[in-house]
Amino acid sequence: GQQLNQSPQSMFIQEGEDVSMNCTSSSIFNTWLWYKQDPGEGPVLLIALYKAGELTSNGRLTAQFGITRKDSFLNISASIPSDVGIYFCAGSGGGADGLTFGKGTHLIIQP
């Protein structure tokens, strides 16, 4: 089946630093999604990407859909304490398809 490789597995950064994480796939996806999960909660959708090469921003978050449709990255600028959590990439082949998730990036911010 499809697999997503997400890196890094964890990040220890200082407050105010920029963060970058990425996902690569062995298969093509039609949609890339980025989620954040806080402890004890379900994942929350941050950004959805629909077109190869698309660059989308949501506040301090920026994500891009790779031109080959096999990769995506997420950047967080000027990190703040509430950015702590687990970030997941997810790929979809179509609207009726379930999502394939990466293994997650644990973001830890040191004050």
Please tell me whether residue 95 binds other proteins under the rule CB under 8 A.
Answer: yes
Please tell me whether residue 84 binds other proteins under the rule CB under 8 A.
Answer: no
Please tell me whether residue 50 binds other proteins under the rule CB under 8 A.
Answer: yes
Among 45, 55, 67, 108, binds other proteins (CB under 8 A): 45
Among 48, 60, 62, 70, binds other proteins (CB under 8 A): 48
Angstrom distance (rounded) from CA 68 to CA 12: 30
Looking at the Cβ atoms of 42 and 111, the one nearer to other proteins is 42
Cβ neighbors of 3 (< 8 A, separation 6 or more) are 25, 26, 100
Angstrom distance (rounded) from CA 79 to CA 107: 10
